[in-house]
Amino acid sequence: MTHQHLTDEAKPPHAPTHRLTLCFSSTRRGARLARQLAVQQFTEWTGLPYESDPAGAVALVTAELASNAVRHGSLPGRDFRLTLFLLPDCFRVEVTDTRPEHLPPSAPPQPDEGTSGRGLLLVEAYADRWGRAVRDAYTKTVWAEVRFRPMGS
């Protein structure tokens, strides 16, 4: 599996076969619910079991992106948005928050660079591609794509 980090691609490269967008409160509970929803939609849309490796990757990636939105991207009273896409070759998770000035680093930290940004190592390990995009003056989106093989392939 090759992992590629991109910072400039804001939109999925292919038309999605399924798409879902919901807002969640910028709380730990909201982040947990976002993770649960992402895995539920992944298994429903792909037919793969909850215990599959791709479903686990979706859970870890979504948990990290959502918790980062809560910790580093929230303003009081503002929610974060989760958008899920089923693309022909992958499942894409996008988390949009209200702090465009707080971008994640362009690459995960090295082992000797302290403790901040460690969750991005999980994203780097479990996502096939990921990146960030600032689409306007009020929001930023961090996204990740997890490849999978459809049932019966």
Q: Which residues of the chain have pLDDT under 50?
A: 1-8
pLDDT of residue 89: 85
Judge whether 95 and 130 are in contact, CB under 8 Å: no
pLDDT of residue 7: 44
* Helices then strands, each counted (H, E), the chain: 3, 6
One-letter identity of residue 142? V
- How many residues can be counted in the chain? 153
pLDDT of residue 32: 97
Q: What's the CATH code, domain 4-147?
A: 3.30.565.10
pLDDT of residue 6: 44
pLDDT of residue 109: 59
Judge whether 81 and 21 are in contact, CB under 8 Å: yes
Work out the burial of residue 40: count CB atoms within 10 Å of its CB; fewer than 13 is exposed, 13-18 middle, 19 or more buried. middle
pLDDT of residue 112: 60
